[in-house]
Amino acid sequence: MLLTTRAIAAALRPATLRAARSKSTTSALAPVPGLDLSNERLRRAVFYVPCSEERKIQKSLGSAADCVMYDLEDGVSLNRKGHARGLVLSALAGSRARSRGVRINSLGSGFEMDDLNVVLQSDALDVIMVPKVERAADVHFVQRLIEGSKARDRVTIIAGIETARGLVNIQEIARADRVDALLFAAEDYCADTGIVRTPGRRELHYARSVVSTTAHAFRLQAIDMVTMDFRNAEVLREEAREGAEMGFTGKQVIHPAQVDDVQQSFMPTAEARARAVRIVRGYQQHYALGKGAFDLDGKAIDMPVVKWAYRMLRRAELAGVDVAAELNE
């Protein structure tokens, strides 16, 4: 499929379809009034694989990462872009990842149309990562091209927030059709703003908080920054824990050794899960008696705490934990 001038013109017309959303698996958890868990999908590690390096592609095919993202952008040198496009369809088809995606080159780079002409031919593509999104129109353009392709019924978009302008316009970006996640890219953001990185990451707290909060406001996933010191497992785990505490649902990774630590960090701990089980059991028992708030270990448990517990258990359930069995123990 080649994207012709007519197709490009059609891409600029207003949207006619709502966003395609990743489908969650059936849950054993009973619904709770006022609780929307539709954005709880498993995408803890987003693992970038340079699509110009066949050895790395081959190793990625059996990756345990929730999302394998074949990279046509920063991980590929300018003189290898065409070579990378020539490998991306077979990489997508061969991957056994739960979610398979492609990071295209940014709009305006001169490479994005060639990228889209190729990747939208894939029957295995689940998500397109659009980097350096600065306004909703950037997403609308890609969205309309998806809708004109055979991928229209399944492919969603991750919007990369990588500049000050993207952060300022984040709400309009989050509203765009097909967006199901917002992603924060720290290195590009620092390059754009002149922010100086520190080991404590305090200079990034505001931007990360905005991305996470906006994602949840629009029922999207929030994907945190890359840990560039990829050989330092302690720093990786610290950053991942911090991201999870800030409300991020996943994290970008650039090395296979990072995947397991990240996925464990974005799954509720056994301690948190045990507490959540006790809260849900207490809620169910008191609800049957017509009671609202209740006492657990000397602490008041009301609906916000109950919703937190259900969210923790849903995340564990998506990761393969038999939550129904734990609730019935």
Active-site positions? Answer: 302
Closest CA to 119 of 145, 158, 153: 145
Dist CA 178 CA 39 (whole Å):
13
First-to-last C-alpha distance (Å) of the chain? 54
* b/e per residue 157-196 (b: at least 16 CB within 10 A): bbbbbbbeebbebbeebbebbbbbbbbbbbebbbebeeee
Check if the beta carbon of residue 120 is closer than 8 Å to that of residue 89. Answer: no
Check if the beta carbon of residue 67 is closer than 8 Å to that of residue 101. Answer: yes
Check if the beta carbon of residue 60 is closer than 8 Å to that of residue 95. Answer: yes
